[in-house]
Amino acid sequence: MTKERKKELQDLCLKFRNDLIDILYSIQTGHPGGSLSCTEIVTTLYFDKMNIDPKNPKKEGRDRFIMSKGHACPMLYLNLAEKGFFPKEDLKTLRQVDSHLQGHPCAHKTPGVELSTGPLGMGLSAGVGMALSEKLKKTGATTYVLLGDGEIQEGGIWEAAMTASKYKTDNLIAILDYNGVQLDGTLEEIMPMGDVEAKFKSFDWNVLSCDGHDVESISDAIDKAKESKGKPTIIIAKTEKGKGVSFMEGKNIWHGKPISEEDYKAAKAELGGER
Amino acid sequence: MSKKIAIRDAYGEALLELGKKNDKVVALEADVGGSTKSILFGKEFPDRYFNVGISEFNMVSMAAGFATADFIPFVNTFAVFMTTRGADPIQSLIAYDKLNVKLAGTYAGLSDSYDGASHQAITDIAFVRSIPNMTVVSVSDAVETKKAVEAIADYDGPVYLRLSRAPAPVIFDESYDFKIGKGVELRSGKDITIIATGTILHNALEAAELLKEEGIEATVINIHTIKPIDEEIIINAAKQTGAVITAEEHSIYGGLGSAVAEVLAKNCPTPMDFVGATEFAESGDYDQLLEKYGYGAKTIAQKAKTLIDKK
């Protein structure tokens, strides 16, 4: 990745963080922690990796992204709007009556959203279905699934993991937003997941890791994942919940807490000041 | 009695034929392919057949993925597991996005008789019927099964297809005109209407014969599409006969009986009674279970007479 490209993506991420805080502050609802955690991952996918066409969202042979940890959808919406799937002014209608931007991703309302998610643990199975479809159609398209680390406590994830390896879906790339924090506390406190890498390896997955806040590290890991032959890949992206706003970082209370005026000002100061 | 053909065999053959005609059809299975008969499709089209083992939640979620990529997935397992283990993706992926997935729940009602209540499905209709966007079809014989498979494949949207394990008397012939959402009057009478769905339709017809022996003329209606339901045929029959009994191998709460009652309460309040489950059944011979738990022709006829007295 060139320095210029890296800077471009980093600037975009900073802009998205600012916009996210603005929107969530204005609507007084939504999930800041998980959205900030996956900023670089989603932005790298949409602005560096995925073959998609905002003018033709259903284009045959496109890459697909499933935000399986659906509560982080504000970051998805910011990316889709920036790409041109819908007007940016729609973003302020998030979670409001008559908006196409639902509290959790809704594929039949929002252009560019490939699958409705929210209830956790289904995105990986649906991703296996999409990946197998693209194999039947021989399009060469890649299916990406973003998983939360709390989400992988759902049993369905491991059903999907078995199935993906049985059918050798090497066109499926899962990315784990591994921030170590879930709604009620840390993973260690609530439900320790142990050695996630070993778990996926034992399910016969190609397991890679990256710095989930370094766009170049994410991009390189995806390139490597695409070289996998006969195995699905999971990229374990080390992240921090609430990344970029110091008082939100690593704090489970920021999973879905409304942002007060005082916190808003402090967050904006850290992210580049009031606009 | 007419020839009997097992609904599951008719389904397996219909799915196979569909696979030959349409290469967009894929089949998913959760390790009961020999029972659901999806294996017939699997043998012919191994590349479009996905046996994912005992993981119904995963299987139904995968079907959503196939549908978003323009395939037509037929999902196969026992009705009870489809609508309990698979409930979450049925509601939040498939119905919510109105995906073109066909959920074939077999061994419905008490038809998996010897396996006992754990494997019998008496709540599946109530669940799928209550979900927006879902179409619910329940078939009564081999001909209807074949026609229903073709019709739901042509329809673009989520469908729950309720199938029985049991050998069922063939009621319809090849000229039968099956249309989603259209009820079928099989017999016309002035005294009472019996509305049935699934293989119990045959018992309803037998009940009508028993009633005839006592001089009671019954209308018998087959409601194969429980949602969207044919309101017109129900209202007309209720107006003509003034009493309505429903019969289904399903809980009387939330199934066909409830659907008919909703239609009549709104349009034409009519005395009703319900044949169906109010308790879990048990293991045993299928016909004996139907008798013991009140699904037999005699029970239907008896309830009809009692209801007529209340008119």
Q: What pLDDT is attached to residue B310?
A: 87
Q: How many domains does chain B have?
A: 2
Q: How far apart, in whole angstroms, are the C-alpha atoms of residue A7 and residue B311?
A: 81
Q: Do residue B142 and residue B198 come from a single domain? A: no
Cα distance from B118 to chain A (closest Cα, Å)? 22
Q: Do residue B133 and residue B274 come from a single domain? A: no
Kindly tell me if the per-residue pLDDT of A273 is higher than 70.
no
**Which of A65, A71, A110, A116 would you mutate first to test chain B, the one with the most B CBs within 10 A?**
A116
User: Which of B134, B169, B204 lies at the terminal end of a domain, its last residue?
Assistant: B169
Residue B302 domain-assigned (yes or no): yes
Residue B123 domain-assigned (yes or no): yes
Using a pLDDT cut of 70, give the percent of chain B over it: 100
Q: What pLDDT is attached to residue A275?
A: 46
Radius of gyration, alpha carbons of chain B: 19
Q: Do residue B263 and residue B163 come from a single domain? A: no
Kindly tell me if the per-residue pLDDT of B261 is higher than 90.
yes
Reported as a pLDDT band with limits 50, 70 and 90, residue A239 is: very high
Q: How far apart, in whole angstroms, are the C-alpha atoms of residue B227 and residue B125?
A: 10
The DSSP annotation for B225-286 comes to EEES--HHHHHHHHHHHS-EEEEEEEESSSSHHHHHHHHHHHH----EEEEEESS---SS-H
Residue B291 domain-assigned (yes or no): yes
- Closest residue of chain B to A109, computed from CA coordinates: B97
Among A255-259, B147-151, B194-198, B215-219, the range scoring the smallest mean pLDDT is: A255-259
Span A172-182, pLDDT tens digits: 999 999 999 99
Q: Do residue B85 and residue B192 come from a single domain? A: no
Q: Do residue B27 and residue B154 come from a single domain? A: yes
- The whole-number average pLDDT for the span B71-81 is 98
Span B41-50, pLDDT tens digits: 999 999 999 9
Q: Do residue B164 and residue B74 come from a single domain? A: yes
CB contact under 8 A, B61 and A126: yes
Residue B49 maps to which CATH number? 3.40.50.970
Residue B179 domain-assigned (yes or no): no
- The whole-number average pLDDT for the span B132-140 is 98
Q: What pLDDT is attached to residue A21?
A: 96
Q: Do residue B196 and residue B147 come from a single domain? A: no
- The whole-number average pLDDT for the span A8-23 is 96
CB contact under 8 A, A137 and B50: no
DSSP state of B131: S
Q: Do residue B31 and residue B108 come from a single domain? A: yes
User: What is the extent of the structural domain holding B155?
Assistant: 4-169
ipTM confidence: 0.96
Span A52-103, pLDDT tens digits: 999 999 999 999 999 999 999 999 999 999 999 999 999 999 999 999 999 9
- The whole-number average pLDDT for the span B77-86 is 98
Residues of chain A with C-beta less than 8 angstroms from the C-beta of B85: none
Q: How far apart, in whole angstroms, are the C-alpha atoms of residue A245 and residue A160?
A: 34
Q: Among B13, B29, B56, B248, which one carries the catalytic annotation?
A: B56
Domains in chain A (CATH in brackets) are 3-271 (3.40.50.970)
Nearest to A167 by CA among A122, A116, A203: A203
Kindly tell me if the per-residue pLDDT of B61 is higher than 80.
yes
**Which of A138, A159, A168 would you mutate first to test chain B, the one with the most B CBs within 10 A?**
A159
Give yes or no for A273 touching B (CB within 8 A): no
- The whole-number average pLDDT for the span B19-25 is 98
Q: Do residue B9 and residue B97 come from a single domain? A: yes
Residues of chain A with C-beta less than 8 angstroms from the C-beta of B53: 159, 162-163
Kindly tell me if the per-residue pLDDT of A29 is higher than 70.
yes
Q: What pLDDT is attached to residue A255?
A: 86
A3-27 vs A73-83: helix axis angle to the nearest 10?
120
- The whole-number average pLDDT for the span B212-218 is 98
Q: What pLDDT is attached to residue B2?
A: 73
Reported as a pLDDT band with limits 50, 70 and 90, residue A256 is: confident
Residue B103 domain-assigned (yes or no): yes
Residue B175 domain-assigned (yes or no): no
Reported as a pLDDT band with limits 50, 70 and 90, residue B1 is: low
Kindly tell me if the per-residue pLDDT of B233 is higher than 50.
yes
Q: Do residue B199 and residue B282 come from a single domain? A: yes
User: Which of B169, B193, B214 lies at the terminal end of a domain, its last residue?
Assistant: B169
Give pTM, 2 decimals: 0.96
Residue B174 domain-assigned (yes or no): no
Q: Do residue B192 and residue B165 come from a single domain? A: no
Average pLDDT across chain A, whole number:
96
Residue B277 domain-assigned (yes or no): yes
Give yes or no for A130 touching B (CB within 8 A): yes
Q: Do residue B144 and residue B200 come from a single domain? A: no
Q: How far apart, in whole angstroms, are the C-alpha atoms of residue B255 and residue B116?
A: 21
- The whole-number average pLDDT for the span B15-37 is 97
Residue B249 maps to which CATH number? 3.40.50.920
Kindly tell me if the per-residue pLDDT of B150 is higher than 80.
yes
User: Which of B107, B140, B169 lies at the terminal end of a domain, its last residue?
Assistant: B169
B150 is catalytic: no
